[in-house]
Structure 1
Amino acid sequence: MNIDEVSPYIRVAMDSLVDAAWRIDERVIWDYELLYLKEGQLHVTIDDRDYYGKAGDCFFFAPGQRHAIQAIGGARVHQPHVHFDLRTEPDSKEIGVSFKPLEQMTAKERGWIRDNELNTDPSAIPSHFRPHDPRTLETLLFELIREYEAKPPFYELRLKGMLLSLLSHVLRDRYWAHTVTSSGHMELLSEIRTYIEHHAHRSLKLDELSERFHLSKFYLIHLFRTTFQLTPIQYHQQIRMEKAKSMIQYTGLFMQDIAELLGYANIHAFSRAFKAHTGCSPSDFRRL
């Protein structure tokens, strides 16, 4: 993949909720599809290989791959997904989403199948994977879907940026997974990150993490930053701010209540931290 040439075209982005009997028979798509399994279970066959997905898993379908999808487990399936071309082509707007097997396509339709540029390292994305940071992936995907559905002015430009953010997150997540696995610290770092996420409602000190996980502060910072490009405390602050933004945007809570729920000493400390992270005050963020 030549990063300088990437200018994605988002064909479809939708939040799909289907019943327990839903299925898609074997087909070949012309573009890429990223599917996030938020709820339920799926049996997916890709090029004669079977995969079984549960909530929190992702499936990635590449152009030209034969695949079939079926809900299993007797429950509904919540599967937000996005179809996209890696770069906008002259015929991108002409092409829809394929539900045909290769043998039923016309010569023109076969010519629509894009080259798969996301199948070699360092930008290879596997057909089935479980992200190590599903919350961020889910947030990015749903923001993209809302933008696609609302179609405000200049939405096409913003969609490109949002898809690039989502794609870079997936690639970075895969890179980190490989790095952590190679260094043998995957389980420990996952445990540290989970602990940080579960304590986003209060202040957290490096001394506490160092003592709990029996690591020196220097080594803890080195290990965490090497893998995630953030220190543990920076990651904790990022999680708190994401929670703050969500509360401000989607609830009617007073700022004082949000500050208390996130463990800030007072509204002034919360406002300073929020402005340092986002560039605007909490009240301005709510108005925007």
Structure 2
Amino acid sequence: MQPSVSPTAIFEELSEFVAVHMKSCREMVHPAPWFEHKTHHDYDLWMIRKGSLQLQIGDQQYAVSAGDVLFFYPDLPYMASAQDEDCQFIFIHFDFGMGEQQRILDDLPLSGIIPQPLLKREWELFCDGFDQRESGAAGSRLYLKACLTALIARIIELYGTAEYEQHVTPFMNGALVKRQWTALEPVLRYIQEHLHRPLKIRELAQQTGLSEKYFIAVFKKTLGITPGQYIFQIKMNRAREYLYTRHYNVQQIAGLLGYCDAFAFSKAFKQYYGVAPSQFV
């Protein structure tokens, strides 16, 4: 079986590089009739708590009900309205970045309407965190940010398992979808299949048919980190997993991860984790 290189798997591997910045979070109540026509410059989530609304993106119209979550991408014009009943929702403006790529989600078709059953647990956690923050409970801001992270992670997971495709009609501005992920799939799979030996940029670039210079630029633009940083992170993830199994000694792990000897591996491991492999478990 070939190693997975899905976006979900990549976010799992590179979770240490992910940064979520919640810029604002408020609850809005709009008495009917209500109408707005806007474009936001950040990622935007609306969690509809009461009522319903109509949404128009381009020439497409959507009905949104209580319990649904709306996910807008930056710079996406929309028209929203509530004609027959009041509408109440929590909105969150946020950034979601990885490494130096501050809008890492732009390359994935995630913007859309997600029904509450798919996000039930994360919905309840977030609303609980929001209500705690509104009451001024200690530690509630940090808890709310953690809930937002869990909510986004679940949306990415739904996309990775195709549940999002089956149950959500995404509305995307085609110019926003760059799909560099697909172009990198061969090289990401190649890296995972060849961790047992040193890897050179030249051979990685050959997997994509790009020049070395352009390959590095595409890789960093897509994932927010360099190929070298990616390889090092994957090796440290695998080293941790091997140590947890207790099936391999340090020398064997060094060989599995392409290090010339146990000393070189131990030095790299301590650089990342702050302790020697023998002290890790």
TM-score computed with the length of structure 2 as normaliser: 0.46
The structure that is strand-richer by fraction is: 2
TM-score, normalised by the number of residues in structure 1: 0.45
